[in-house]
Structure 1
C-alpha cells in the first residue's frame, strides 16, 4: 500500500540537500548567538492565567511552543521543552515551563512533524491519555509512542471541546510549509495551523510554521473574529532560500492585517539557531515593521519566554 503523500499541497519545493548546506553556512557564530540570547527575557514559573476566568490568551513557552487559553479550555501547541533538538545546537534560552510545571491540558496540537515543533522527549513526559490533534497521516506516529487518544484532521476540519460557556472548536487550517522527519517520509504527514474558537465566535490563531500566501485570506474569510494570533517571525534568512517556507517580520505584520487581527504574539524566534539572521533580529525587525504599519504598540504582545497575556 502506498503511503499518503501531500506534495500536491506544496506551494513550492522546500530546501534540498544543497540548499540546506548553503543555509547552514549562513548561521551566526555560536558565541554571538548566545551573547544575544542572554538579552532575551525569560520568566520561568510566572503566574499562568486562570482557565476558570474564561478569558482568551496566550502563554509563550519559547520557539513555537505556546499555551492557548479559550473559554476555560487550555491547549498546548507544538511543545518542545527539552534541552535541544536534532539538527540544531542546544537551546539558547530555557523553556518557559517544564512538562511537570504545565497546567491541566485539554489537548496537544501539533502543527507538523519537524523536530523544532514535534519533540518526542517532551511528548514522552506527557500522560499517554493526553489528547493529540495533528494533521492527516499522523496518528500512527503518536500511537506507536503509546498515545491512545489521537485525532487526525484535514485542513478546515475541527473537533469540539467543552468550554465554560459552550463548545470550543479547534480547527486545523492551511499553512504554506512542508513536513519530514526522515529521508523516507517527505510530505507524508499534513502540516497546518490552528484556530481555537470560543462559543461567542472570538478566536485565537496559532499559525504553526508558514510562509505568507493566499491561504491567509482564506483563513480570514472563514474566521472573522480572530482576536489574538501567534505568528512566526524567525528563521527567514537568507530570503532566497526560505521565503517559500517561512514569513519574515514584515510579512508577519502584513499577515496580521490580512487576518484582521489586532493583537499578535511573535513566536518562532530566540530559542534555536535555524537560519542566518542574528538571534535578536526577528523581534527587533517585528517591532520596526509594527511601528511602520502604524499599529498600536500595546497590541504587539512581545512576551518574555514564559510570559502570558489575556483579554
Structure 2
C-alpha cells in the first residue's frame, strides 16, 4: 500500500491541475481589440475564443482528469525521473546525435555562423549569423503559477539568461505555463540594449502589453511579418490555450516558420497530430531545421489529441520533407507518465522502422549545441 505522504503529494498535484485551470484567470482575459480587416473572420475564430483548424477543441472533462489522476496512484512517478535514471539515459544516447554536420566548407565563423542550442523543454537558441532567436523561454524552477508545487525542473538550466548574450527575437507558441514563463520574459526584457521583439499568438499580445512589455507583435495563423532579413510566419498547431478557469482557448496557439535567405526553420510548438503539417509543408518546405515535440505523450487515451508521440514526430519529420530535426518538449519537466528514457527509445525505434538515419532526427542533452549548414553551403 502506498504511503500516506505519497497520496498527499498526488492529491496536491491534482489540486494543482485544477489550479492550472482555475487560477490566474484575469491575466489572459480578452482578445485583441484591434479591428481585423477581413470581411469574414477565419473559421478558427469563435465568439468565445479559438478552435483548431478542423473545428475541434481539446476539452477534457473533469471525469477524464480524475481518471488520469487515479491511474497515477499505481505509478511511482518519482522513480520514472530519478537522477540516476536521467544520467543513464543521457549516457545511452546514440553517438550520431553528437556528430557534427560536415559539408567540406571552412566558412563557419562570423556572419556565416549558424547554430542551434537546446536549453531544455521547448527552449532553444537559434543563431543565424549575428541574430539570436529564442523559442518559448523557460528558465524558472517550476512550470507552474506557484513556486512550491507543480512540475519541477529535472536538470539545471545549462545557461542563465545573463549568459545567453543578446536575444533579438523571442517566439512564443502559446500561453501554457511550460511555454510562457513570465519571470523569464521579464528578465530577458531587461537585457542590455533593450528588450527583444516578442512574436506571439493573438491574445497573448494583449496580455503581455497589459503586463508592461514593449515590442510585442501578435499573429493570427498564416500571418507574417518581415523584420530585417527575416520573415516570421505563424502557423497552425492542434492544441489549446489557457492559464485559468475563464480563459480557455481565449488566446491562439501555433508554431513558427522563420525564413531567412540562408536558412529556413520550423518550430512546431506544442501539438497533437493533424493535417496542418501537410499544409505547412506545402507552403514552406524545404526546411533546413525543424524543432518537433517528442515528449509528454502518455497515457495516449488522454494525451493523443494534444501531444504527438515519437512515432508521430517521425511522421511529422517525413511530412516536412525530412529536414534535420531536433526533438523538443521532453526531458525537462515531468508532465505525464512516460519514463525519462522513453522518448529516446521510442524515437530511435520509430526512426529505425522508417529507415531514417539517426543523425537526421536528434535529441540533445541540455546545453548541447550543433553548428548548422547555411543553405548556400550545402552540397559544396
- After TM superposition, is the score higher than 0.5? yes
Relative to structure 1, the CA distance from residue 192 to residue 260 in structure 2 (aligned partners, 3 Å threshold; closer, same or farther) is same
Counterpart secondary structure, 2:117: strand
Question: In the alignment, what sits opposite 1:133?
Answer: 199
Select 2:68's aligned residue among 4, 23, 33.
23
- 2:154, 2:333 within 8 Å by CA — same for their partners in 1? yes
* Mapping for residues 87-126 of structure 1, pairs under 5 Å: 88-126=150-188
- SS of the counterpart of 1:210? coil
Q: Distance in 2 between matches of 1:172 and 1:96?
A: 28
Q: How far apart are 1:97 and its partner, in Å? A: 1.5
Moved more, 290-299 or 55-64: 55-64
Give the whole-Å Cα distance in 2 for the aligned partners of 1:161 and 1:179.
Answer: 27
After superposition, residues 1-311 of structure 1 pair within 5 angstroms as: 3-4=30-31, 5-7=49-51, 9=53, 11-24=56-69, 25-26=71-72, 28-35=76-83, 36-39=85-88, 41=90, 52-86=110-144, 88-127=150-189, 129-162=195-228, 167-200=229-262, 202-309=263-370, 310-311=372-373
Aligned to 1:103, the other structure's residue is in SS state: coil
In 2, Cα distance between equivalents of 1:226 and 1:115: 28
Following superposition, the deviation at residue 261 of structure 1 comes to 2.8
Residues 52 and 72, structure 1, Cα contact 8 Å, conserved in 2: yes
User: TM (normalized to structure 1)?
Assistant: 0.89
- The answer as to whether partners of 2:135 and 2:172 remain within 8 angstroms in 1 is yes
Name the CA distance, whole Å, in 1 between partners of 2:133 and 2:170: 6
1:181-238 Cα offsets, whole Å, 9 max, x none, are 01010001100001111124x4111100001110000000011221111100011111
> What is the root-mean-square deviation in Å for CA atoms of aligned residues?
2.1
Secondary structure at 1:306 match in 2: coil
Question: Which SS does the other structure have where 1:118 is aligned?
Answer: coil
C-alpha separation in 2, matches of 1:193 and 1:57: 20
- Flag as ranges the 4+ runs of structure 1 deviating above 4 A: none
TM-score normalized with structure 2 length: 0.73
| Alpha-carbon offset, residue 100 of structure 1 | 1.1
Aligned length: 298
- Comparing 220-229 with 30-39, greater Cα deviation is found at 30-39
Whose helix fraction is larger, Structure 1's or Structure 2's? 2
In 2, distance between residues paired with 1:156 and 1:69?
A: 24
Structure 1 residues 144 and 52: CA distance shift in structure 2, 3 A = farther
Aligned with 2:226: secondary structure?
A: strand
How far off its partner does 1:267 sit?
0.9
The verdict on how the C-alpha distance between 1:209 and 1:8 changes in structure 2, with shifts beyond 3 A counting, is closer
| Partner residue in 1 for 2:42 | none
Kept in 2: contact 1:68–1:204 (CA 8 A): no
Deviates more, 1:86-95 or 1:6-15: 6-15
| 1-structure distance, mates of 2:362, 2:325 | 6
- 3-state secondary structure, aligned to 2:281: helix
* Separation in structure 2 between the aligned mates of residue 98 and residue 238 of structure 1, nearest angstrom: 33
For the pair shown, the structure with the greater C-alpha radius of gyration is: 2
